[in-house]
Every structure is written in structure tokens, then in C-alpha cells.
Amino acid sequence: MVSFSSVIMLFNITTICWLVVISAFSVGGVSAQLSTGYYTKSCPKVFDVVESVVKSAVAKERRMGASILRLHFHDCFVQGCDGSILLDDTSSFTGEKTAVPNINSVRGFNVIDDIKSKVESVCPGVVSCADILAIAARDSVVLLGGPNWDVKVGRRDSLTASLSSANSGVIPPPTSTLSNLVNRFQARGLSAKDMVVLSGAHTIGQARCTSFRNRIYNETNIDPSFARTRQANCPSRNGVGDNNLAPLDLKTPTTFDNDYYQLLLVKKGLLHSDQILYNGGSTDSLVETYSKNPKAFNDDFVAAMIRMGDISPLTGGSNSQIRKNCRRVN
């Protein structure tokens, strides 16, 4: 015969187990519901369609790979990976595209539109814009020579965007201190190591003169010849040549590799927020490791991208949907 005290103990243990399960699904916005096989039955061709469009876009302009990767990052850091950055402004709504970190800077929206159109023709109303962006970011990295990984999917799209949040500093500016970078990433559940390895995405892409003008004219932890080279295309006067571009990785700007870290070792980081990673601080050893070990960089980058893709996904409820057009709510 089971004693009353045994029943009570069993009840308590069961209650604790359920609390653990509930807690696991509450932390990080139920990211546990994302899976790599989410579209196996509902839209098995989605990955092929996305890859085809991204491959065509990158073939036309290799810089586009970096732009799509950056678009995913800027989306995830504001409201989570919910496609909010893709929403256009309307007469009654102001989205994130005109936020300071985004205006005249983020690009690649037309590529996402093209992907969405083709995916809708194959699987109407099934695949979210947020998932398309996550898959396209992975494909961009692979097409430029970087590592591959299985993208977790199952996100839904936001009905809103937040201009104020995008302007609040959650997206670290190129003038960031090391502590600000660490804090901004930690606020999104990412470690200092994640921050350093995700910064390695700057091995591809370009930056505008306005982002690095102060560094090349006023900072001392910069190689003098490198500074002079950059000054030739970025005048010191504000408003002159603001949108002139320079590669973030001057050695191989359209190839995903670990050259970014090697350049930091010789004080040739283009942005202040790049060089601050190797400036006598707590992240120096990570930069040194990634500069010497491309496999470590690739492996850690993959792990960090997967963690970033888990930031506050929408997986159901009345505050989300599968948008038919990524630029507007249905």
C-alpha cells in the first residue's frame, strides 16, 4: 500500500518537472519550437528556392551576400528575429528602415522580395519572411566561401516594428567601446565570445565614410599607411563623400575567411568597433586565436549564428502571421 507521504512526494516531484518544462519554453521566447525540419512536409523546396535566388544575386554583386547577412543581424537585435526590419513605412506606421543604424545603410530588400515571391509560388502562405532572411543569411555566407550549417526555422512574422528600439542603441554603432559591445550582445543573450566571432562577419562587405571618418583622422591605434589610403576616398569634412565606400576587410573583401582578425593584429581594422576588439583588452586572445585558426573561427561562427537566430522568435499567437509580402502586414 502506497503511503500518503509517498503520494505527496510524487506530486511534488511531478510539479517540479512540469515547472522545469514550462521554464524551458519560456526562456528566450520559446526558441525550443524552432527546428531544422519544420518545413519538411509543408514546403520541402524552400531551401532550394532561397539558395537559387541568393546565388543569382551574389553572382551579380558579391557585396550583396554581406548585405543580406547584415540585414538578418539588424533584424534580430531589435525585436528578435521576426522580420520587422522588412516592413515599409505607411501613412499610419513608421518602421525600422529609417532608424539611424539602418537608413542609407541596410540593403538587400529587393532580394528578399524576390525570394518571397518565388517561395509563395511554390508554397503559398507557409514560409515566413523571418525564416527566409535567416536561410538567405546562411546561404550568403556559404556562397562567399564560409561555413555551412542547418538553419533552425519555424519563425512567424511580426505585425509591428520599432523605430524607437532600433534607434535606442541595441544595434551597436561603429563608435562602440568594448564594454558597450559586450553589454549589447549580453542583453540579447549572447556572450562576449559570440560578439567577437560575429564581428568576424566584417570579413565581407563595405562601410560608408561616415562610419570610419573619425577613426582614420583622429585615432592613434591605426596603421598610418592604412589611414592615409582610406583618407584618399574619405575627406575629413563632414558631408563630403559621406557615402563613399571602403572594404571592411581590405585583403579579401568578398571572401568569407579569417583575414579580418589578421588585419586587427596590425591595426588595420576599418571601424573603431572593429579595432577595439584588439586593443589591449579582454578580447585580444580571441582575436589572436581566430587569426591563426580558421577552423575555430568557422565552428564558433556557426554556433553563434544559430544562437543569434534563436533571439525571441515568434512561433504563434495573434501578434504574428506569415506575411504574403515581406514589406507589409497582410
Q: Locate 19 and state its grid cell.
A: 515547472
Residues 189 and 153 in one domain: no
Please report, in angstroms and rounded to a whole number, the separation of the first and last CA atoms in the chain: 61
Q: Is residue 283 part of a domain?
A: yes
Residue 306, pLDDT score: 98
Three-class DSSP labels, 171-214 = CCCCCCCHHHHHHHHHCCCCCHHHHHHHHHHHHCCEEEHHHHHH
- Pick from 138, 146, 87, 86: which is nearest to 112 by CA? 86
Residue pair 168/102 in contact (Cβ under 8 Å)? The answer is no
- For residue 53, the surrounding DSSP H or E stretch is helix 46-60
Q: Residues with Cβ < 8 Å from 18, sequence gap 6 or more?
A: none
Residue 262: give the domain boundaries.
Answer: 178-308
Residues 92 and 109 in one domain: yes
CATH number at residue 234: 1.10.420.10
Q: Is residue 4 part of a domain?
A: no
Q: Is residue 126 part of a domain?
A: yes
Q: Is residue 201 part of a domain?
A: yes
Residues 238 and 199 in one domain: yes
Q: Locate 115 and state its grid cell.
A: 525570394
Residues 152 and 218 in one domain: no
Residue 16, pLDDT score: 40
Q: Residues with Cβ < 8 Å from 285, sequence gap 6 or more?
A: none
Residues 163 and 120 in one domain: yes
Q: Is residue 197 part of a domain?
A: yes
Residue pair 132/120 in contact (Cβ under 8 Å)? The answer is no
Residue pair 64/108 in contact (Cβ under 8 Å)? The answer is yes
Q: Could you give the number of structural domains in the chain? A: 2
Residues with pLDDT less than 50, the chain? 1-32
Q: What is the DSSP letter of 18?
A: H
pLDDT tens-digit profile of 155-182? 999 999 999 999 999 999 999 999 999 9
Residue 325, pLDDT score: 98
Residues 213 and 235 in one domain: yes
Q: Is residue 24 part of a domain?
A: no
pLDDT tens-digit profile of 18-30? 443 333 333 334 4
CATH number at residue 117: 1.10.520.10
Strand partners, 321: 157
Q: Is residue 97 part of a domain?
A: yes
Residues 157 and 227 in one domain: no
Orientation of helix 129-143 relative to helix 109-122, angle to 10°:
110
* 74 flagged as catalytic: yes
Residue pair 108/132 in contact (Cβ under 8 Å)? The answer is no
Residues 206 and 238 in one domain: yes
Task: Determine the Cα–Cα distance for residues 278 and 154; give it in Å rounded to an integer.
Answer: 37
Residues 89 and 199 in one domain: no
Residues 72 and 141 in one domain: yes
Residues 195 and 254 in one domain: yes
Residues 182 and 164 in one domain: no
Name the active-site residue from 72, 74, 202, 272: 74
Q: Is residue 251 part of a domain?
A: yes
Residue 32, pLDDT score: 46
Strand partners, 314: 156
- Pick from 176, 155, 3: which is nearest to 79 by CA? 155
